[in-house]
Amino acid sequence: MTVIPYTHWAYFPDQDSAQHCATDLADFVTRLREQEDGTWLLLAGRDVDTAELPERHGMVEAIVQRYGGAYDGGEVTYLHGKPVADPLITDEESDR
């Protein structure tokens, strides 16, 4: 079993729909950020077994779509050569 920190990305037309989606992703660390165009970015991160990634993508995408969002996939972000689940906490540039 290989566990990695993984962050899903989703965009929403408004803050309310992004917040409701984040509530449904209770087992994730979630962050909301307003974009320059007025849409809202939801980042949802957690440690996941790499064998479960396809299933997790499908689950997160379904929840995002339920709230009118657009799922944009996910990634592992590296900081100083180490994977981090929540790059927004660090306030540093990542090695993406």
- pLDDT tens digits for 35-47? 999 999 999 998 8
55: how many CB neighbours lie within 10 A of its CB?
A: 11
pLDDT in tens, 20-72: 999 999 999 899 999 999 999 999 998 889 899 889 899 999 999 999 999 99
75, burial (CB in 10 Å: exposed 0-12, middle 13-18, buried 19+):
middle
Q: Is residue 93 part of a domain?
A: no
Q: Is residue 35 part of a domain?
A: yes
- Contact (Cβ atoms closer than 8 angstroms) between residue 45 and residue 74: no
Q: Is residue 1 part of a domain?
A: no
Q: Is residue 81 part of a domain?
A: no
Band (4; pLDDT cuts 50, 70, 90): confident
Q: Is residue 71 part of a domain?
A: no
The per-residue pLDDT for 96 is 40
Q: Is residue 37 part of a domain?
A: yes
Q: How far is CA 52 from the centre of its chain?
A: 16
State yes or no: pLDDT of 19 exceeds 70: yes
Q: Give the structural domain span for 32.
A: 15-45
Q: Count the domains in the chain.
A: 1
